[in-house]
C-alpha cells in the first residue's frame, strides 16, 4: 500500500515534469477547477496562463527541487530556478544572460488536485540579473 506521503511525492514529481516540459495543458490537469493562489481564488486555466510570458522570455526555464517536505495534505518546496533571457520580460529586451533564482512554494492537495498554492519567487533578483 502506498502511503499518503509517497502518493503526494509521486503526484508532485509528475507535475514537475509537466512544468519543466512547459506542457501547460498537462499542468492544468493537476489543479482543482477553482484554486487559491496566494489566497486569491482563480480558475486553473488562468493559473497556467501566467507561465506563458515567463517561458516566452526564458524558453529553457527549469525548476530544480532543493528541498521537499510532505505531510498528509501539503507539499512544501524550495527550488533553484534557472533560465536564459531570450525574450522580452517585463519590457526588458533579451540579454542572453543566464539567471538563477530561489523559489519557495507550498501546495495543499485534496483528491490528487492542488487546491491552494502559496508561492514566493525571487523576481527582484531575476530583474537585477537581466537589468
Please provide the average confidence, as pLDDT, over all residues in the chain: 97
Mean pLDDT of 33-46: 97
Mean pLDDT of 75-87: 98
What domains can be seen in the chain, in order of their start residue? 4-130 (3.10.450.50)
Query: Does residue 56 carry a pLDDT above 90?
Result: yes
Mean pLDDT of 46-66: 97
Query: Does residue 64 carry a pLDDT above 90?
Result: yes
Return the closest-CA partner of residue 101 out of 76, 78, 126.
Answer: 126
The reported pTM is: 0.95
Mean pLDDT of 75-99: 98
Mean pLDDT of 65-69: 98
**Looking at residue 2, what is its pLDDT?**
81
Query: How far is Cα 71 from Cα 56, in angstroms, rounded to an integer?
Result: 34
SS3 per-residue string spanning the chain: CCCHHHHHHHHHHHHHHHHHCCCHHHHHCCEEEEEEECCEEEEHHHHHHCHHHHHHHCCCCEEEEEEEEECCCEEEEEEEEEEECCCCECCECCCCCEEEEEEEEEEEEECCEEEEEEEEECHHHHHHHHC
> How sure is the predictor about 1, in pLDDT bands with cuts at 50, 70 and 90?
confident
Query: How far is Cα 18 from Cα 10, in angstroms, rounded to an integer?
Result: 13
Amino acid at each position: 500500500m502506498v502511503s499518503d506521503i509517497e502518493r503526494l511525492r509521486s503526484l508532485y514529481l509528475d507535475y514537475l515534469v509537466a512544468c519543466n516540459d512547459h506542457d501547460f495543458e498537462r499542468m492544468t490537469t493537476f489543479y482543482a477547477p477553482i484554486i487559491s493562489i496566494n489566497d486569491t481564488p482563480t480558475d486553473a486555466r488562468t493559473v497556467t496562463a501566467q507561465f506563458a510570458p515567463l517561458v516566452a522570455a526564458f524558453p529553457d526555464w527549469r525548476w530544480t527541487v532543493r528541498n521537499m517536505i510532505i505531510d498528509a495534505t501539503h507539499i512544501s518546496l524550495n527550488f533553484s530556478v534557472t533560465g536564459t533571457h531570450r525574450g522580452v520580460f517585463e519590457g526588458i529586451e533579451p540579454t542572453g544572460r543566464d539567471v538563477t533564482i530561489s523559489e519557495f512554494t507550498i501546495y495543499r492537495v485534496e483528491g490528487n488536485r492542488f487546491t491552494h498554492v502559496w508561492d514566493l519567487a525571487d523576481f527582484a533578483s531575476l530583474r537585477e540579473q537581466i537589468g
